[in-house]
Structures are given as structure tokens and as C-alpha cells.
């Protein structure tokens, strides 16, 4: 890497996942200079804050002489966040509610720290890498996460939890893990596929379900057809509500199942009101695990007015 060209205003970004806490040092152009990860502590919010400061300290130590000290940070976090207060309202991985995750980091490193929902951060990361300011990101993993960027900024709503497309109503009769009756995630999320398949006497893990579906076996065929119908609904809602310039499909299930990408593209072509949008690209996500770090890095830079 050409260190001479590194900009002065580096930032820190963090992505707190269910198993790994990742941190990165990011330059002014949004490039990751260094990154590291540790197991996500699940014992208490205090332990999480301590792990964040530990990773932050370690990343700051790596920058010696290459870039100036980081000037801001942003933490991407699974769960319900309140962007304005920097508090996590609910952390589903652990069940902890209403705690501060940013203050300790801000004190320790003496810099401003913001908080963002992890799926929204990943959507912003995909927007950054594709240089697209009107982007819809649909992440199909264990659940269904969506994030939307318009005018170059995240659509986050009042508290930072806007863009939760996975829990839009689809077809009553099946409950999602969060408890809603018949949302898109209840049909399209990987966990939901596994639960439905096992309950119907089929295989209980996604790769086996996909294999059985491709071999034309039941119950996989019926379950996957409903999943694809849920995906069609999600794509249709996305295009009609947001008129994006680009849709990206990511997540473990989205990347493992090219049929999902094909069906999403077909949906765009067949939309009744989508006549002018037949050229709307639907593409595989580019960043994988780094999307949240890149997106959070962008939000950290925004704290500096950049």
C-alpha cells in the first residue's frame, strides 16, 4: 500500500456481529488500512464496551507514523439502535436492552463516536464501493436485513431503525423469530427455511434444503417456491417505494443461491409499473464481511463534516 498517499483524517469503524467484533482503521478515501477481530463478548454490555476500547487501542497503535491519529469512530451494531443518543435499545444476540455502547470508547480514545444499525451500515458500504447514491441492499442470511441509501445518505428514520424490510407483512400463517405473523423473513430467512423444512420432515440446514429443492424433492420445493415469492414481493416493494438506481443482493443465503439473484432480476423485468426500470441492475453484493466496516467508516467521516 502506498502509505505516502494516505490522507490525514483516518477514522475507526467497528462491526459488532453475533460471534465476531471487527474493527478497522480507515483512511479518508474510505479504504481499510488495518483491521482486526476478536470474539464478541456476550457476558455484559460493560464487557462489550471494554472489548471495543481494546480493539480501538490496538488499531490506533498500528497506525504509528502512517496516518494521523483517528479523529472519529462509528460502531455498527446488530439490533435496535438509537442513533441520536448512541444507546442500543435491544441486542438480540444477548437479550441485553437499553445500554450505552459509545461513551466508553469516546472517553478512552477522546474522539466523537456514533452508532448505526449493522445492516444499514452494510448497505452504506455497498453504496460506497459501487459509488451509487440510490441503492437498495437486500441481505438474505439467517434473517432478512435491508438497508436503503437515497441521495447518498441512509434512510434511517427518526431513531436509526428505518429500512427494516424483512418484517414487512407478506403472508399470515407463519411466525418469524421476532414474533410477527407472516412477514417476509418468516418465509425468506435462512432460519425460517430450516424451521419450516424440519417441521415438514425435510432437511434442517440450508445447503441440504437447496440440494433437495434442486433435485425436485418435497417439502423443499414448496418451501423454496414460497421463499422466492417472498423475494419477489420484497423486490417489488423496494422498486416501487424507492426507485433505486441499483439493487444489491447479499447475505449468506443470497450469495449461495444464484436462483435468488435470477428471480430478483426477473421480478424487475416483470413489474407492472417497472416499465421504465427494465435496465435496473440487480447485482450480487461486493463487500461481504467488510461492508459494515466500510459503511461505519463513512459515518465516522461524516462526524468530521466529510
Give me the residues that bind Zn ion (CB under 5 A), please: 167, 176, 178, 180, 183, 185
Report the alpha-carbon angle 138-143-146, nearest 5. 25
Cell numbers at 72, concatenated: 472519529
Paired strand residues for 36: 23
Round to whole Å and give the CA distance between 195 and 85.
36
Cα-to-chain-centroid distance, residue 171: 24
Rg over alpha carbons for the chain, rounded to the nearest Å, is 20
Round to whole Å and give the CA distance between 286 and 2.
23
Q: Which is nearer to Zn ion, 31 or 167 (CB)?
A: 167
Q: Which is nearer to Zn ion, 56 or 145 (CB)?
A: 145
Q: Which is nearer to Zn ion, 176 or 230 (CB)?
A: 176
**Residue 178: CB minimum distance to Zn ion, A:** 5
**Residue 268: CB minimum distance to Zn ion, A:** 24
Q: Which residues contact 188 (CB under 8 A, 6 or more apart)?
A: 140, 144, 166, 227, 230, 231, 234
Q: Which is nearer to Zn ion, 14 or 91 (CB)?
A: 91
Q: Which residues contact 35 (CB under 8 A, 6 or more apart)?
A: 22, 23, 24, 25, 59, 290, 293
Paired strand residues for 138: 146, 249
**Residue 238: CB minimum distance to Zn ion, A:** 17
141, 125 contact by CB (below 8 A): no
**Residue 264: CB minimum distance to Zn ion, A:** 20
Q: Which is nearer to Zn ion, 63 or 194 (CB)?
A: 194
Q: Which is nearer to Zn ion, 111 or 183 (CB)?
A: 183
**Residue 183: CB minimum distance to Zn ion, A:** 3
**Residue 102: CB minimum distance to Zn ion, A:** 28
Q: Which is nearer to Zn ion, 70 or 165 (CB)?
A: 165
The dihedral through the CA atoms of 18, 20, 26, 31 has a sign that is: negative
**Residue 96: CB minimum distance to Zn ion, A:** 21
- Phi/psi of residue 46, each to 5°? -65, -40
Amino acid at each position: 500500500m502506498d502509505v505516502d498517499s494516505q490522507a490525514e483524517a483516518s477514522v475507526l469503524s467497528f462491526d459488532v456481529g453475533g460471534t465476531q467484533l471487527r474493527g478497522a482503521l480507515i483512511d479518508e478515501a474510505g479504504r481499510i488500512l488495518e483491521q482486526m477481530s476478536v470474539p464478541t463478548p456476550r457476558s455484559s454490555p460493560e464487557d462489550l464496551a471494554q472489548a471495543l476500547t481494546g480493539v480501538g487501542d490496538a488499531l490506533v497503535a498500528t497506525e504509528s507514523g502512517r496516518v494521523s491519529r483517528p479523529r472519529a469512530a462509528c460502531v455498527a451494531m446488530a439490533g435496535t439502535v438509537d442513533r441520536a443518543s448512541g444507546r442500543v435499545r435491544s441486542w438480540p444476540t444477548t437479550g441485553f436492552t437499553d445500554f450505552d455502547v459509545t461513551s466508553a470508547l469516546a472517553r478512552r480514545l477522546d474522539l466523537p463516536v456514533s452508532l448505526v444499525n449493522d445492516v444499514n451500515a452494510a448497505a452504506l458500504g455497498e453504496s460506497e464501493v459501487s459509488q451509487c447514491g440510490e441503492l437498495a441492499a437486500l441481505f438474505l442470511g439467517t434473517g432478512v436485513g435491508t438497508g436503503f441509501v437515497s441521495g447518498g445518505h441512509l434512510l434511517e428514520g427518526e431513531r436509526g431503525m428505518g429500512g427494516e424490510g424483512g418484517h414487512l407483512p407478506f403472508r399470515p400463517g407463519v411466525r418469524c423469530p421476532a414474533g410477527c405473523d407472516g412477514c417476509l423473513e418468516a418465509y425468506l430467512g435462512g432460519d425460517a427455511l430450516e424451521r419450516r423444512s424440519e417441521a415438514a420432515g425435510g432437511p434442517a440446514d440450508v445447503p441440504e434444503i437447496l440440494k433437495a429443492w434442486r433435485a425436485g424433492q418435497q417439502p423443499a420445493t414448496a418451501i423454496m417456491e414460497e421463499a422466492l415469492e417472498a423475494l419477489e414481493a420484497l423486490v417489488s416493494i423496494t422498486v416501487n417505494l424507492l426507485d433505486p438506481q441499483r439493487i444489491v443482493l447479499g447475505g449468506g443465503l443470497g450469495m449461495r443461491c444464484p436462483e435468488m439473484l435470477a428471480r430478483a432480476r426477473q421480478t424487475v423485468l416483470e413489474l407492472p409499473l417497472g416499465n421504465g426500470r427494465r435496465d435496473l441492475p440487480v447485482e450480487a453484493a461486493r463487500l461481504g464481511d467488510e461492508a459494515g466496516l466500510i459503511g461505519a467508516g463513512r459515518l465516522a467521516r461524516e462526524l468530521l463534516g466529510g
